[in-house]
Amino acid sequence: MTDYHSNTDSATWTGRIWKDGRFQQGAVSIEDGRIREARSKDIREKAFILPPFFDPHIHGGWGFDFQKSEFVDLEAQLRELGVGGAVPTLMNDTLHNLEAVSRNFAEYKEKRPDSIFPFLRVEGPFISHEKKGIQPKSAIHKPGRLLRERLLNIENIRVFTFAPEIEGADILVEEALAAGKIPSIGHSNASYRDARPFLEKGVRHMTHFPNAMRGLHHRDIGLLGTGLLEDNLDLEMIADGIHTSPEFIRLVHRVKGPRFSIASDMIPPACSPDGASGWSGLRLVNGALVDRNGTIAGGRSPVPEQAGFLLRLGISMEDVVRIACLNGRRFFGLPIPEIRDGEEASFMVCGPDLALRAFFLKGERIR
């Protein structure tokens, strides 16, 4: 069973600090787990000091699987990368299995109240057969009353993916929003006309935009066009150059600015020494994990790696911080760590290429 390590660091870190929504020159040190103004003479080389990375959508990695409730090992791996928050995401499954994972998650959170995992999310079960990707067909349902109630009563699942075009989706969304859940549009063949009423109801999120969604056409802009057009939609995107091309990432950034987040969508074989071997039906093709039909099965690149990719595409460090560290938290109503005097120490020290040099989380040094 993996555990986390921590120690203290009396050195002072100096450089460009993310504060009040921008980078400012300054220095920070740690005292009793809190950020203090720099006083030490032991000044480290100049660097970028910024909030931890956040991954709003991850299924697993390093051979571990959230579907199997392997929270301990996955949290340890993510912390080592500078990820200070992540949302464990479940594949579409039977409600019985989802309920079981939720119970396991509750036990985990009780033992580790400082966990980086705030809640769970699931891709389904009320999604489109046409755009299901690798989600199991047998677990896709229409949102009848009993199924709706059962899903919305799973306390630890706060976010779920749904397709607006399916029968009963309107009632599902109204009940979900009333219950404080976050319905996210995805795995859907909806047109703009299908989606628009749900935006008026208060839906604000899209799952791994624009993958597993209807594309853009000049007579029907589909969900791809909906995401680009509507300013009040929060988009998460797998910015790995595979799920979305470099040109598409640049297009979204040009249209939306830094008003989207990136997500790994990593699945268990990602980052594991054996790659896809040992994972039934999956193989590695041109850098992508695909199933027997050639459908991309999930992500392989952690959020920190994608953030570096954004920098190489010419996106500014300021925008990358918003996209990779802040927006996912903001979209889900989670607190954003502040780098200022007296605050609990949760920040990264990175080089100009985002290479991690040090990482403090809730007053503990992780790296």
Q: Give me the residue spans of the domains in the chain.
A: 1-51+337-367, 53-336
Per-residue pLDDT band at 279 (split at 50, 70, 90): low
Per-residue pLDDT band at 294 (split at 50, 70, 90): confident
Which CATH number is correct for 1-51+337-367, 3.30.390.30, 3.40.50.1100, 2.30.40.10, 2.60.120.20?
A: 2.30.40.10
pLDDT in tens, 146-174: 999 999 999 999 999 999 999 999 999 99
The region, left, alpha or beta by phi > 0 then psi within -120 to 50, assigned to residue 155 is alpha
Per-residue pLDDT band at 133 (split at 50, 70, 90): confident
Per-residue pLDDT band at 271 (split at 50, 70, 90): confident
| CA angle, 109 then 113 then 116, to 5° | 80
Global pTM value: 0.93
pLDDT in tens, 163-209: 999 999 999 999 999 999 999 999 999 999 999 999 999 999 999 99
Does residue 286 surpass a pLDDT of 80? no
Quick one: average pLDDT of 120-145? 88
What does CATH list as the number for 53-336? 3.20.20.140
Tell me if domain 1-51+337-367 and domain 53-336 are identical in fold.
no
